């Protein structure tokens, strides 16, 4: 048996050979980066990486080393991708945007709402309208729509300039339909605002809770008031477009057997009485609304970035991406997953983090995330709201 010192010298000799070969490999990787940059080829190539691993594992003589060799190859390729991302990013001529034209943007002027028309889902008296007023003010022109997707269609067809849509509630979490539509239509988040949400059980004049058989409201309102309805199991809950539309329906039908869950403002607007006040179980119940535009708009005050990605369906893929946040000292504020239709157990990941894409550190981090993702889209860079 060889002594320890002899074995260490052998390892040192092999390491020196490895370093020389690694340097040659990285020189080749630099050439790959230049070629991909010139021909606009994505950095990540799943099939190529799988082929490299499979081919090199066949060269092993000792099968005990299969697993660690596979991990070594994966690590080398991750390093190579990150190096390619940094190389391509460093060659970008325009310092105001990240690599590739996908990050080009117009400068946002928060004061220039002028004669813009703002769309929202619901009717007057809805929380969406309240969010619209909170962000744009009382005097802006507005247009209401029945469905969330109607707002996206109106933006796509340039019927409106901006849309206001709920995306997250502090009690019940993300509003999945809006996340899916945001990706489907390829629109951008340019702002956000938070509204405190207090739900009330509303009915026509003289209605008592024992009179009510059916309650209309948005499913989120029912979920946020679930404790109240567990205490009144005889009430039939009927999902409807929106809290304010539900209040309007009850007012129009003018019968005591139906009621709505909606805001105090909706009660006043549609001449309804509050039968039970503040029925939501969380007294600190807030909904975050996003301001959506057809164009990516950014200014120096923007400090929150949203992206959506998918990752290769293999071990460590998500970790490789999330590690970029720690390595670049970036504060990740939220991550939300949504299943990919037709691909069981694969997901879109929606990520929010602090930063402004005019910052070179942020540009570099975005480039690395892009390079390690199967799919990447910048959803927006906007001013973070505070409660």
In a domain, 4, yes or no: no
What is the domain range of residue 45?
Answer: 14-91
Whole-prediction pTM: 0.76
How does pLDDT run across 163-206, given as a tens digit for each residue? 999 999 999 999 999 999 999 999 999 999 999 999 999 999 99
If asked whether residues 139 and 191 sit together in one domain, one would say yes
If asked whether residues 325 and 218 sit together in one domain, one would say no
**How large is the average pLDDT for residues 82-107?**
57
Do 169 and 285 touch, CB atoms closer than 8 A?
A: yes
Give the model's confidence band at 113: pLDDT under 50 very low, under 70 low, under 90 confident, else very high.
low
Within 8 A by CB and 6+ apart from 53, the residues are: 70, 73, 74
3-state class (DSSP) for residue 276: strand
If asked whether residues 67 and 129 sit together in one domain, one would say no
pLDDT of residue 129: 95
Q: In angstroms, rounded to a whole number, what is the distance separating the alpha carbons of residues 265 and 127?
A: 9
pLDDT tops 80 at residue 133: yes
Q: In angstroms, rounded to a whole number, what is the distance separating the alpha carbons of residues 338 and 134?
A: 29
If asked whether residues 167 and 292 sit together in one domain, one would say yes
In a domain, 362, yes or no: yes
If asked whether residues 132 and 252 sit together in one domain, one would say no
Do 98 and 92 touch, CB atoms closer than 8 A?
A: yes
If asked whether residues 122 and 184 sit together in one domain, one would say yes
Tally the domains of the chain: 4
Q: CA separation (Å) from 25 to 22, 28, 186?
A: 5, 5, 38
Give the model's confidence band at 104: pLDDT under 50 very low, under 70 low, under 90 confident, else very high.
low
If asked whether residues 192 and 292 sit together in one domain, one would say yes
If asked whether residues 21 and 48 sit together in one domain, one would say yes
In a domain, 97, yes or no: no
Angle at 338 (CA atoms; ends 336, 341), nearest 5 degrees = 165
Do 132 and 120 touch, CB atoms closer than 8 A?
A: yes
How does pLDDT run across 214-247, given as a tens digit for each residue? 999 999 999 999 999 999 999 999 999 889 999 9
Q: CA separation (Å) from 274 to 135, 203, 204, 301, 337?
A: 27, 7, 9, 41, 38
Query: Six-digit token pair at 217?
Result: 């409201």
pLDDT of residue 96: 39
Query: Six-digit token pair at 59?
Result: 């060269």
If asked whether residues 244 and 120 sit together in one domain, one would say no
Q: In angstroms, rounded to a whole number, what is the distance separating the alpha carbons of residues 94 and 98?
A: 8
Q: Residue 144 pairs with which residues in a beta bridge?
A: 120
If asked whether residues 292 and 305 sit together in one domain, one would say no
Q: In angstroms, rounded to a whole number, what is the distance separating the alpha carbons of residues 125 and 139?
A: 16
If asked whether residues 169 and 291 sit together in one domain, one would say yes
pLDDT of residue 316: 78
In a domain, 103, yes or no: no
How does pLDDT run across 300-320, given as a tens digit for each residue? 899 999 999 998 877 778 888
In a domain, 9, yes or no: no
In a domain, 148, yes or no: yes
- DSSP labels for 71-132? HHHHHHHHHHHHHHHHHHHHT-S-TTS-SSGGG--EEP-TTTTTT-EEEEES-TTSHHHHHH
CATH of the domain at 341: 3.30.70.260
If asked whether residues 193 and 290 sit together in one domain, one would say yes
Active site residues: 287, 289
Within 8 A by CB and 6+ apart from 141, the residues are: 115, 116, 117, 118
CATH of the domain at 26: 1.20.59
In a domain, 333, yes or no: yes
Q: In the chain, what is the greatest distance between 2 CA atoms, to the nearest angstrom? A: 96
| Percent of the chain with pLDDT strictly greater than 90 | 64
How does pLDDT run across 321-362, given as a tens digit for each residue? 888 888 778 899 999 999 998 888 889 999 999 999 888 888
In a domain, 7, yes or no: no
CATH of the domain at 226: 3.40.190.10
């Amino acid at each position: 048996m060889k002594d320890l010192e002899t074995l260490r010298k052998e390892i040192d000799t092999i390491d020196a050979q490895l370093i020389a070969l690694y340097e040659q490999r990285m020189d080749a990787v630099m050439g790959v980066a230049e070629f991909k940059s010139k021909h606009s080829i994505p950095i990540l190539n799943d099939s190529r990486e799988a082929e490299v691993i499979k081919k090199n594992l066949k060269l092993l003589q000792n099968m005990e080393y299969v697993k660690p060799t596979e991990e070594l190859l994966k690590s080398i390729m991750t390093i190579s991708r990150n190096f390619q991302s940094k190389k391509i990013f460093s060659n970008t001529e325009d310092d105001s945007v990240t690599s590739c034209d996908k990050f080009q943007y117009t400068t946002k002027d928060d004061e220039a709402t002028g004669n813009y028309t703002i769309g929202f889902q619901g009717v007057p008296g809805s929380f969406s309208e309240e969010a619209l007023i909170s962000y744009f003010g009382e005097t802006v022109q507005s247009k209401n729509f029945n469905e969330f997707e109607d707002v996206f269609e109106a933006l796509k067809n340039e019927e409106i300039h901006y849309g206001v849509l709920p995306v997250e509630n502090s009690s019940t979490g993300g509003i999945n339909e809006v996340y899916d539509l945001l990706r489907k239509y390829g629109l951008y988040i340019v702002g956000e605002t938070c509204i405190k949400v207090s739900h009330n059980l509303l009915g026509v004049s003289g209605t008592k809770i024992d009179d009510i058989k059916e309650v209309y409201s948005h499913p989120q309102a029912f979920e946020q008031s679930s404790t109240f309805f567990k205490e009144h199991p005889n009430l039939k809950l009927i999902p409807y477009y929106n809290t304010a539309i539900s209040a309007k329906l009850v007012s129009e039908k003018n019968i005591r057997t139906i009621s709505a869950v909606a805001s105090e403002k909706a009660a006043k607007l549609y001449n309804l009485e509050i039968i039970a006040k503040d029925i939501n179980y969380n007294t600190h119940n807030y909904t975050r609304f996003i301001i959506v535009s057809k164009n990516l708009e950014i200014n120096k005050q923007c400090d929150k970035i949203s992206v959506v990605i998918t990752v290769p369906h293999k071990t460590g893929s998500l970790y490789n991406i999330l590690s970029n946040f720690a390595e670049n000292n970036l504060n990740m504020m939220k991550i939300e997953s949504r299943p990919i239709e037709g691909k069981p157990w694969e997901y879109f990941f929606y990520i929010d983090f602090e930063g402004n894409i005019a910052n070179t550190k942020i540009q570099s981090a975005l480039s690395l995330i892009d390079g390690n993702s199967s799919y990447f889209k910048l959803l927006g860079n906007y001013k973070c709201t505070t409660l």
